[in-house]
Amino acid sequence: MAEAATKLPIKTEAGPAAPATKPADWQPFEALRNQVDRLFHDFQTGFMQAPLFRPLPDIESFWRRDLGFNVTPAIDIVEKDKAFEVTAELPGLDVKDIDIQLADGVLTIKGEKQEQKEEQTKDRYVSERRYGSFRRSLQVPRSVDAGKIEASCKSGVLTVTLPKSPDAQNNQKKIPVTSK
């Protein structure tokens, strides 16, 4: 014989909501999909239109196409005795395309890169344009002397030096550790 089903009360608790997926979380996947789409497109057009445009698909330009664009640069932050040092890898970016600002205790590094390539031969004309930008913001410790922040760029590596105020440098105390 079948037993009667027991109804259990359903409890709902208002807990923290699941984190929403940010558009930035999908950027690597979107970039990969775009690269695969371009690869298939390059192979298709390369073989079908080889006499007019390219003798073979341009695989090399496929791999270089998105490098350095719409990518958040790698940043390292190191604390030294007298300053914090922020380094960012910005290959191929000119100094005039880099903007650094400090506002309300937040250091913002922005950059924009534009690239245009034109190739003209007797039988074909190819024009490619790429644009990309990035923005990184970092909370600056209160111990930084904002008036003495300096930045320099050499060989595609941006270095921002955030000197500590004299009070912050002298405010450190070594705590001895003892064993018992």
Closest-CA residue to 86 (of 144, 11, 18) = 144
**The two structure tokens encoding residue 134:** 């990035």
Domain boundaries, the chain: 26-66, 73-171
Residue 13 CB: number of other CB atoms within 10 A?
Answer: 4
pLDDT of residue 152: 93
What are the CA-CA distances from residue 44 to residues 52, 61, 65, 98 (Å)? 14, 15, 17, 38
Gap between the Cα atoms of 89 and 76, Å rounded: 9
Q: What is the mean pLDDT of each run of 10 residues along the chain (180 residues)?
A: 59 55 66 79 54 43 45 85 91 89 91 87 86 87 90 92 82 84
What whole-number distance in Å separates Cα of residue 95 and Cα of residue 156?
A: 9
Q: Looking at the domain 73-171, which fold is it?
A: Immunoglobulin-like (2.60.40)
